[in-house]
Every structure is written in C-alpha cells, then in structure tokens.
C-alpha cells in the first residue's frame, strides 16, 4: 500500500509539472496601461541620436494611473515591460504602507541585461570593488536562490529569503546557526511538499527616503550599508551587500496592496528591477483599494497628491 501511495504521489507531481509547463508556454497578456512616448523633440547638440525620456511629472499629469490600471498590473506582466515603461510605472506610484511579513520576490532586467553583465559594467569588471569570485556568488544567489524579502515593519528591519541550497554552504559557515523561516513552495512541488525552509540572510535597515529615480516623493528604502548593526548579521555572505562590498540600496513603491515594485542600486548606480508580492495581503485589501479607499502612506507622498482619475 505504501508503494501505491508513493506512485500516486509522484504521479500527481508529474501531472502538476506538465500542467505548469503548459501554463508557462503562453506569456501573460500585457495590460492596456497608458504610457508617454520618449520626447524625441528634444535634441542633444553633442549627441543628435540621444532620446530624452519622458518627464515623470508630465507623465503623471497627462497619463495618470487609475486604481483599475493598477489592479491590472502583476509581477509577471511588469517583468515583460521595457525599462522606460517600468520607470514610468514607478514614477506614478507612492510608497504606500511599509510592508510587514514575508513577500515573494522576483528580479528582472531590461532586455539583454543580466546580473553579471550589469555588475561588470558598473564595477569595471573584476578590477571593481569586489573580486570576480564574489560576483559569481552574487549571480548564483540572484538567479536562483533569492526567494523574496521578510519585512519587520515595527523594527524597521528587513532580511532576504535565500534558498538553503547546497550551493550556498561554502559561503555561510555553520548552517545550523542561520536564522530560518518557512514559505510556501512554488510550482508543482507545492502539491506534495507544501512548505519550504529558507534562510534569512543579508539584513538591512528599513526607512523612508528620497528616490534615486524620482525625487518628487519618498520611497521605502532598504539600506544594506549598516546591516552589520542588526542581530544575526554574518560577515559571510552578508558583507557582500554592505558598505564593504557592493553598497546595495533598494527602494520600493506600492503598485497595489500586497504588490510592490522595486529598484536595486549599487553605490547609487541602478542595477536591476524587482517585485515583491504577498498573496494574502493582495486578496484581503483588493476590494477596498479598487473602490478608492485612501492609501495608508508610511512615507512622504509629495507636495502634489497623485492625480485622481475615473476608475
């Protein structure tokens, strides 16, 4: 009987995997969201081919995002947009409330970019601030092991959810001393093994501050430069993100409840985009948000509120 159960369990898992593969074959439809075109009417006399990107204040005035527009956005379809479109989405958002608890994460780049190519470009290759072998570690983490962020709103702290993969063992020391939590498994494994232990690494401080992209209003800042002051800090690998390494600084704004769009910087230079998502919060607060309930802002929303538009 035990063998029968085992066969059935793996049969269900295999079927789920096939269904997931079929589902991934068709990319999500792109939502009908208004965007401004790049301003080709302006020319740089020293570089006639240069295109000036749209001004965020003008985009927000002429193409405001309604609550209905924001409800159409998902982590999946935002990740398929051009960098200019992602920037225009971000520039039409406020910080919203500082998140609390675990948020599933996904990172993405403009077309043709990768984590290693961006780091090489910013740092000047292996002659940059950190050695090439450390870049390799970060690429492994970024590509497959980063699962999201754990926000501690009351403490104004954050830790990253990192898969407890054997690939990380050479860099973490004694794994029994690492802080852990459980998150739902993704994909077909969720049918047979519903929860997954992950490590809590790369601590950071959480506060409101000026956006490096759009200074008209604040964003929620995730600052790794002083992560070594937070309980549970581990010199390896946590120092890679701090002031002795890449000096990572994230900023996030709320698309809608449970869904935030983020930007990661290294030494104040843009590195990549990311999203964080909490399905429970999204489901609980969706109706009120869509109906126009005021947003509980944790950070300064700017002198001019977001332009109200018909839903």
**Number of domains making up the chain:** 1
**How many C-beta atoms surround the C-beta of residue 311 within 10 A?**
11
Quick one: pLDDT at residue 81?
A: 93
Judge whether residue 212 has pLDDT over 80.
yes
Give me the half-sphere count of Cα atoms (radius 13 Å) on the Cβ side of residue 117: 7
Q: What is the pLDDT of residues 287-309, one digit of tens each?
A: 999 999 999 999 999 987 676 55
Q: What is the pLDDT of residues 2-35, one digit of tens each?
A: 443 333 333 333 333 333 344 445 666 788 999 9
Q: What is the pLDDT of residues 64-114, one digit of tens each?
A: 999 999 999 999 999 999 999 999 999 999 999 999 999 999 998 866 566
To the nearest whole percent, how much of the chain has pLDDT over 90?
58
Quick one: pLDDT at residue 188?
A: 60
Residue 243 lies in a domain: yes
User: Which residues on adjacent β-strands are paired with residue 218?
Assistant: 210
Judge whether residue 38 has pLDDT over 90.
no
Quick one: pLDDT at residue 183?
A: 87
Residue 230 lies in a domain: yes
Quick one: pLDDT at residue 63?
A: 94
Residue 295 lies in a domain: no
Residue 302 lies in a domain: no
Average pLDDT, the chain: 82
Quick one: pLDDT at residue 141?
A: 73
Distance CA 10, CA 116 (A): 37
Residue 187 lies in a domain: yes
Residue 44 lies in a domain: yes
Judge whether residue 151 has pLDDT over 90.
yes
Distance CA 86, CA 93 (A): 11
Token pair 């009120």 is at which residue?
A: 288
**Mean pLDDT along residues 179-197:** 73
To the nearest whole percent, how much of the chain has pLDDT over 70?
71
Residue 121 confidence class, pLDDT cut points 50, 70, 90: confident
Judge whether residue 137 has pLDDT over 80.
no
Q: Which domain holds residue 77?
A: 2-290
Quick one: pLDDT at residue 303?
A: 84
Structure tokens at 201: 């690494």
Judge whether residue 206 has pLDDT over 90.
yes
Residue 185 confidence class, pLDDT cut points 50, 70, 90: confident
Contact predicate 85/37, CB 8 Å? no
**Mean pLDDT along residues 40-66:** 74
Q: pTM for the whole thing?
A: 0.83
Residue 300 lies in a domain: no
Residue 209 lies in a domain: yes
**Mean pLDDT along residues 154-160:** 98
- DSSP states of the chain as a string? -HHHHHHHHHHHHHHHHHHHHHHHTSPPPPP----PPPBTT--BTTBTT--BPPPHHHHHHHSPPPHHHHHH--HHHHTTS-HHHHHHHHHT----SPP-EEEEEEEE-STT--HHHHHHHHHTGGGSSS-HHHHHHHHHIIIIIEEEEEEETTTTEEEEEEE--GGGHHHHS-GGGS-EEEEEPPGGGGGT--EEEEEEEEEEEEEEEE-SS-TTSEEEEEE-TTGGGSTT--HHHHTTTSTTTT-EEEEEEEEETTEEEEEEEETTEEEEEEEEE-HHHHHHHHHHHHTTPPP--SS---SSPPPP---
């Amino acid at each position: 009987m035990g063998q029968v159960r085992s066969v059935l369990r793996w049969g269900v898992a295999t079927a789920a995997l096939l269904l997931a593969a079929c589902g991934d074959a068709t990319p999500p439809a792109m939502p009908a969201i208004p965007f401004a075109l790049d301003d080709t009417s302006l020319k740089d006399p020293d570089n006639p081919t240069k295109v000036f990107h749209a001004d965020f204040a003008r985009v927000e005035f002429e193409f405001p995002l309604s609550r209905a527009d924001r409800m159409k956005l998902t982590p999946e379809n935002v990740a398929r947009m051009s960098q200019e479109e992602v920037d225009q989405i971000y520039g039409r958002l406020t910080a919203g409330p500082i998140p609390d608890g675990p948020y599933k994460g996904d990172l993405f780049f403009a077309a043709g970019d990768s984590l290693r190519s961006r780091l090489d470009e910013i740092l000047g290759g292996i002659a940059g601030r950190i050695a090439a072998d450390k870049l390799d570690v970060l690429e492994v983490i970024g590509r497959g092991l980063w699962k999201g962020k754990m926000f501690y709103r009351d403490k104004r702290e954050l830790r990253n959810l990192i898969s407890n993969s054997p690939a990380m063992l050479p860099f973490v020391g004694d794994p029994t001393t690492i802080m852990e939590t459980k998150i739902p498994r993704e994909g077909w494994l969720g049918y047979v093994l519903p929860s997954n232990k992950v490590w809590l690494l790369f601590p950071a401080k959480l506060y409101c501050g000026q956006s490096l992209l759009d200074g008209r209003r604040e964003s929620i800042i995730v600052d790794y430069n002083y992560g070594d002051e937070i309980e549970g800090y581990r010199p390896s690998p946590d120092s890679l993100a701090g002031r002795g390494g890449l000096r990572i600084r994230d900023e996030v704004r709320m698309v809608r409840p449970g869904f935030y769009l983020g930007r990661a910087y290294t030494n104040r230079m843009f590195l990549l985009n990311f999203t964080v998502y909490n399905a429970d919060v999204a489901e609980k607060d969706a109706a009120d948000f869509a109906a126009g309930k005021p947003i509980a802002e944790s950070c300064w929303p700017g002198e001019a509120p977001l332009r109200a538009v018909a839903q």
